[in-house]
Amino acid sequence: MAGTVGHTRLAAIAAAIDLAFKERRPVTPDMLAEFRAAMKDAKARLETLPPLSALSLKIGEAQGKKAVEKMLSMLKNSEYIDESLLADVSDYLDGRLGAHASRRLIDQVENFDLDTAIATLLELAGRAGEPLS
């Protein structure tokens, strides 16, 4: 993600934390503070971008339903949601519920708030006429 918004600070601290994990070294409070600050800065930069649904192609109903179901399954299994799937779900939901309807879901997925993202996806899918369980 860091490279796509041109935020080398975030990429650098994420790499340092990853290396610490791999080398079984502790992640220091300074590293965590830098990571939080870099995330805050990256998030502020991301807020200036148009929503994913405005950047991607609109998808068909069958593909949208399949994407929503796949995302729900992946969220329930704590799996990583890639940008392509997130864009497909966003396009589908925004197309059915109105522009930016999926913004809250996108934020939750990008911030790895998986339990809340599950609840939001279930709510949005229900409002879109596609109740899931």
* Average pLDDT for the chain: 86
Residue pair 44/9 in contact by the 8 Å Cβ criterion: no
CA dist 46 and 74 (Å) reads 24
Residues 64-97: pLDDT tens digits? 899 999 999 999 999 999 999 999 999 899 888 8
Residues 80-89: pLDDT tens digits? 999 999 999 9
Nearest to residue 90, comparing CAs of 62, 55, 114? Answer: 55
Query: What contacts 68, CB < 8 A, 6 or more positions away?
Result: 89, 92, 93, 121, 125, 130, 132
